[in-house]
Amino acid sequence: MFRRFTTWRRAGTSVLGGLAVAALVATGQPAGAAPAPADPAPRAPMNRAFERAADEFQVPRDLLVAVGYGETHLDGHGGEPSHAGGYGVMHLVSNPERRTLEKAAELTGEPAADLRKDTAANILGGAAVLRSYADELGLDAADRRDADAWYPVVARYGGADDDRTARLYADTVYDFLEDGFSALTPAGERVTVGPRETEPERGRYAKVRPLGAPASAEAGTLSTDYPPARWVAAHSSNYTPGRSSAITHVVVHVTQGSYAGSISWFQNPSSNVSAHYVIRSSDGEVTQTVRDRDTAWHARSGNPYSIGLEHEGYVDNPSWFTDAMYRSSAALTRHLCDRYGIPKDRSHIVGHVEVPGNDHTDPGPNWNWTYYMQLVRDGDATAPVQLNFTSYSTLRSGSTGAQVKAVQHLLNQRGFDAGTVDGVFGPGTESAVRAFQSSRSLTADGVVGARTWTALLSAGTKPVLKRGSSGADVERLQRSLTAALGRTVGIDGAFGPNTETAVRDYQSSRGLAVDGIAGSGTWGALQAGR
């Protein structure tokens, strides 16, 4: 196994010392002369930490950043642990079942205390753990340069015992790599990963059925309580079968961890915790882990009479609370209220902090109760945002209307926080547009023109579509072509002759192979805003 016995900081000190001596000799400065003023502190310490750790342990830099982003949105939370006992940007874990924190300390020589609180050390530790897994799985030097070869390593890093949850974790990381992202750290530093084409080598996980995939031979893939939800059962030691009280409340939680990590934690028999539902930040996907009829362990005294909803993220970082999450969660809460006769008010839809006998603070001050309850009461939670237009106008600060709502919705869906979808192009929307443009290597001017529209509307997976294809992905393609070509392409979800012509015209005008089939190359060009 690859093992490292000295820290980069100690090694770095000797290297920098040698450079300083060389500089004195080169300039002829007397040894006793007053030292020159120290260089200012680096303005991009987290970027430098990722680059240094990636170089030292031969982990692809963007992959390392994507793992950290999926775990924490690159927020170390001041060394405070997650629900699973995970620390820092890379979520190094110390609990009875999983000890990546201790493994990182062994591999790097860094004290555990530093790995918990020092961001650079934590990133180094995450890289060391990933590299050790890569060595155990037999990745050679060529493999290590190829991010796609790291898929089984990433799946293992997630720590799930259940293969479907491990695949969910790894797929999420590779979705981030595919789409690209731009994150603002708590210190105000921008860390960016550009979009890239990925073809992950899933290895044994290629045969693992993704969560929610149809499986006629296996019942229970989807929730029977809430049809839009996936179903992944919590461990039987983490909840109580049945109820001792009628269901009268919904309790809103924040996971203090990632979506896949929370689902995995509920499957861990030593966690002694669970919730009925978990909602994902990026797109509002819902997974149920405990049946409504059973008592999840999520709110102490409130367990017998409530249903617990966990929301991916951390209470102190509002970037997790996307519009997609609010709308999806509110739709679920509305369904639960209608099904069990729960009043749609703040006396019966409460935060964890409001349940008697609890010492938790979630969902915290960044949770927008006013907006959430409006969605629950008014029934707007399931109202789709209009995305289909005959043309897409240039939008900028001060613009209003349905197309601004579409931009805000799409930005929030991709993890660029545009705030409430209200149809008003204000500073928050402009900031999110600039961040999205930077992540796609577009001119970051905060104006939504044809190229930005094209990249926004096409973002997502890259399915091969051709004559005869149909469905939501075809609609997404047709919207993208409408924006890219500057002419109306009928948006009906059916890939017919007109759509094929539009694809050929786009391919020809962008110097692509002209075959009328929307494959990886065509999607890649669209998602780059070409």
Q: Please report the DSSP string for 335-371 in residue order.
A: HHHHHHT--SSTTTEEEGGGSTT----TT-TTS-HHH
Angle made by CA atoms 88, 92, 98, in degrees to the nearest 5: 150
* Mean pLDDT for the chain overall: 87
Q: Label residue 162 exposed, middle or buried (CB < 10 Å: 0-12, 13-18, 19+).
A: middle
One domain, residues 431 and 516: no
In a domain, 414, yes or no: yes
Helix, strand or coil for residue 224?
Answer: coil
In a domain, 25, yes or no: no
Number of domains in the chain: 4
**Residue 388: predicted pLDDT:** 87
Show the tokens assigned to 491. 């948006």
- CA–chain centroid gap for 138, Å, is 28
One domain, residues 368 and 403: no
One domain, residues 244 and 316: yes
One domain, residues 444 and 466: no
In a domain, 36, yes or no: no
**Residue 215: predicted pLDDT:** 42
Query: Which residue has 């009268």 as its token pair?
Result: 248
Look up the CATH number of the domain holding residue 509.
Answer: 1.10.101.10
Q: How far is CA 285 from CA 202, 260, 278, 329, in A?
A: 22, 11, 8, 9
Greater confidence (43 vs 278) lies with 278
Please report which confidence band the pLDDT of residue 159 belongs to, taking 50, 70 and 90 as the band edges: very high
In a domain, 10, yes or no: no
Which residue, 415, 448, 481, sits at the end of a domain?
448
One domain, residues 335 and 267: yes
Look up the CATH number of the domain holding residue 72.
Answer: 1.10.530
**Residue 223: predicted pLDDT:** 80
One domain, residues 266 and 368: yes
What average pLDDT score do residues 179-190 get?
A: 89
Q: Round to whole Å and give the CA distance between 290 and 99.
A: 27
| Beta strand 277-279 pairing with 190-193 | unpaired
β-bridge partners, 86: 93
Provide the 8-state DSSP code for 257.
B
In a domain, 383, yes or no: no
Q: Are 394 and 448 in contact (CB under 8 A)?
A: yes
What average pLDDT score do residues 210-236 get?
A: 71
The alpha-helical segments, DSSP class H, found in 98-215 are 100-108, 112-117, 119-136, 141-145, 151-157, 163-179
One domain, residues 374 and 408: no
**328-360 pLDDT per residue, tens:** 999 999 999 999 999 999 999 999 999 998 889
Which residue, 430, 448, 466, sits at the end of a domain?
448
Q: Are 405 and 411 in contact (CB under 8 A)?
A: no
Domain that holds residue 318: 230-378
One domain, residues 420 and 438: yes
pLDDT exceeds 90 at position 370: no
Q: Are 453 and 431 in contact (CB under 8 A)?
A: no
Look up the CATH number of the domain holding residue 354.
Answer: 3.40.80.10
pLDDT exceeds 90 at position 17: no
**Residue 70: predicted pLDDT:** 95
**Residue 20: predicted pLDDT:** 32
One domain, residues 129 and 264: no
**Residue 490: predicted pLDDT:** 85
One domain, residues 415 and 483: no
DSSP string, 77-125: GGG---TTSEETTTTEE-BTTB-HHHHHHHHH---HHHHHH-HHHHHHH
In a domain, 11, yes or no: no
In a domain, 215, yes or no: no
**Residue 319: predicted pLDDT:** 87
pTM score, two decimals? 0.67
What average pLDDT score do residues 59-64 get?
A: 98
One domain, residues 263 and 181: no
pLDDT exceeds 70 at position 41: no
In a domain, 266, yes or no: yes
**Residue 398: predicted pLDDT:** 93
One domain, residues 50 and 189: yes
What average pLDDT score do residues 422-428 get?
A: 92
Please report which confidence band the pLDDT of residue 491 belongs to, taking 50, 70 and 90 as the band edges: confident
